Amino acid sequence: MAPEFQKNAMYVSNELENGDVQKNFDDDGREKRTGTLLTASAHIITAVIGSGVLSLAWAIAQLGWVAGPAVLFAFSFITYFTSTLLADCYRSPGPISGKRNYTYMDVVRSHLGGVKVTLCGIAQYANLVGVTIGYTITASISMVAVKRSNCFHKNGHEASCSIESYPYMIIFAVIQIVLSQIPNFHKLSWLSILAAVMSFTYASIGLGLSIAKVSGVGHHVKTSLTGVVVGVDVSGTEKVWRSFQAIGDIAFAYAYSTVLIEIQDTLKSSPPESKVMKRASLAGVSTTTLFYVLCGTIGYAAFGNNAPGNFLTGFGFYEPFWLIDFANVCIAVHLVGAYQVFCQPLYGFVEARCSQRWPDSKFITSEYAMRVPCCGTYNLNLFRLVWRTTYVIVTAVIAMIFPFFNDFLGLIGAASFYPLTVYFPIEMYIAQRKIPKYSFTWVWLKILSWTCLIVSLVAAAGSIQGLATDVKGYKPFSTHQ
């Protein structure tokens, strides 16, 4: 236990012994949480709605008018349902008055224990690392798209306009190094709200441009109930693999379970965190699904079976160039916030483990008060400064070495969707509620779990095949990301 936490807990104990009402700390001795339905919803929307929303037209094009929206709604329902199960597991043994669990791994340890805790940690933190690397690449692509948009506007749509993305990865990394010094999730509400506004903005611009294209004079593209046509657009094998890959993309687009517990840990204790989190999940997933369906279906109607991977960075649109520039700036700003939402749990995990391992190390536990102009006092921790800066630099370097790494995200999403979004929430709910084996509820929960496992394996296979193809034929500034 970190010394500062011991001091907080002792202080709470002394206050209670004196009969005073302790207003500055929660029941676990930590600083009083101030999160609300609004901030939790903002965190969820920031985590869920990434730049992948603009690639859904491509996913719908692979699946068609019937299967595409059906898969979107199916994943939205599964994600919301399992998130409500996970919300009840934040406290144990009961969802209202039990002991708090601060991370996803803590929740699994409290309800399941054993080797499953290790498996959970591997799935969760591998996913978080992959996402932050992918966000570094995607943000740089959006920044490059601004320069390319201006180049196309000035020199014509046939100009090469090749621009290196490395300087923009460095700019993104520098911004993240600064923001990563924010101590924890509780201090990030303003950034999540800003990022959520940005996500609405660029998704709305993409949606508006698609509507304008569909309603334009002489607009005609080829669409179908089953998506791209075998023998015309793709071969039979390509149709199968692309469909699997589209399912993986959609699964990844909905996955936010990796940070759900950390988001719930920011909420005030009254009303009960589980109830507020369920409402926040409903608001977040409903909002996400609405935007996903609109952007996916209208984007498909605008571009048909030739829909680009991302119609803002992939130049499905060229004009008005200033609006496309603004949308790409919004994507970059949103990913600045989303990066923090996903890396804060990893930061917290490493720092907590190091504090437990070396509780007497001043380098790890000591904080030094510093006056920051216009921001008040900042508590500098040297270990936090070094570790978080190193992490951001490493992710940026990996993004530079493997600029096609974003293609791994579909695979990471397919691999992490089942264990983190489906398997663990269902298993913990069964354990918490002591649901009898082979009862009706137990059977249908297991059926749901096994069905999602099969879907995840299929999606992973499609993503591996797509990744192999992308690596072989990789070209900078490819439109499919």
* Per-residue confidence (pLDDT) for residue 124, from 0 to 100: 84
For residue 21, is it within any domain?
no
For residue 13, is it within any domain?
no
For residue 9, is it within any domain?
no
* Per-residue confidence (pLDDT) for residue 342, from 0 to 100: 83
* Per-residue confidence (pLDDT) for residue 10, from 0 to 100: 44
* Per-residue confidence (pLDDT) for residue 437, from 0 to 100: 92
Helix (H, G, I), strand (E, B) or coil at 31: strand
For residue 19, is it within any domain?
no
* Helix, strand, coil percentages, rounded to 5, for the chain: 70, 5, 25
> Residue 409: pLDDT above 50?
yes
For residue 8, is it within any domain?
no
Region 112-128: mean pLDDT is: 88
> Residue 12: pLDDT above 90?
no
- Which CATH number does the domain housing residue 197 bear? 1.20.1740
Residue tagged 């913990």 (tokens): 428
Region 87-114: mean pLDDT is: 88
Region 392-407: mean pLDDT is: 80
Contact call for residues 185 and 263 (beta carbons, < 8 A) = yes
Residue 469: which domain range? 34-473
Query: Based on the number of CB atoms within 10 Å of its own CB, is 255 exposed (0-12), middle (13-18) or buried (19 or more)?
Result: buried
> Residue 166: pLDDT above 50?
yes
Query: Of the given ranges (51-60, 67-76, 301-310, 454-463), which has the lowest mean pLDDT?
Result: 51-60
> Residue 278: pLDDT above 60?
yes
* Per-residue confidence (pLDDT) for residue 9, from 0 to 100: 42
* Per-residue confidence (pLDDT) for residue 163, from 0 to 100: 83
> Residue 180: pLDDT above 50?
yes
Confidence of residue 22 (pLDDT cuts 50, 70, 90): low
Query: Which range in 8-17, 55-64, 316-325 is most confidently predicted, on average pLDDT?
Result: 55-64
Query: Based on the number of CB atoms within 10 Å of its own CB, is 422 exposed (0-12), middle (13-18) or buried (19 or more)?
Result: buried
Rounded to an integer, what distance in angstroms lies between the CA atom of residue 445 and that of residue 450?
Answer: 9
The number of domains in the chain is: 1
> Residue 294: pLDDT above 80?
yes
User: Residues 104, 90, 414, 453: is their CA dihedral positive or negative?
Assistant: positive
Pairing of strands 376-380, 368-372: antiparallel
For residue 82, is it within any domain?
yes
Region 396-412: mean pLDDT is: 72
Helix (H, G, I), strand (E, B) or coil at 272: coil
For residue 287, is it within any domain?
yes
Between 62 and 408, the higher pLDDT residue: 62
Confidence of residue 306 (pLDDT cuts 50, 70, 90): confident
Between 470 and 71, the higher pLDDT residue: 71
DSSP H helices, 358-439, are 362-365, 382-401, 408-416, 424-433
* Per-residue confidence (pLDDT) for residue 185, from 0 to 100: 62
Average confidence score pLDDT of the chain = 82
| Tens of pLDDT, residues 205-250 | 888 888 888 887 667 888 899 989 988 888 888 899 889 888 877 8
Q: If phi over 0 gives left and psi between -120 and 50 gives alpha, with beta otherwise, what is residue 94?
A: beta
> Residue 332: pLDDT above 80?
yes
Task: Tell me how far the alpha carbon of residue 253 is from its chain's centroid.
Answer: 8
> Residue 354: pLDDT above 80?
yes
For residue 413, is it within any domain?
yes
Query: Which range in 61-70, 126-135, 157-166, 452-461 is most confidently predicted, on average pLDDT?
Result: 61-70
Q: Could you give the angle at which helices 321-357 and 166-179 cross, rounded to 10 degrees?
A: 50
| Tens of pLDDT, residues 76-98 | 999 999 999 999 999 888 778 78
* Per-residue confidence (pLDDT) for residue 168, from 0 to 100: 92
Q: What is the pTM of this model?
A: 0.78
> Residue 65: pLDDT above 90?
yes
Between 408 and 458, the higher pLDDT residue: 458
Region 173-194: mean pLDDT is: 81
Task: Tell me how far the alpha carbon of residue 158 is from its chain's centroid.
Answer: 35
* Per-residue confidence (pLDDT) for residue 478, from 0 to 100: 43
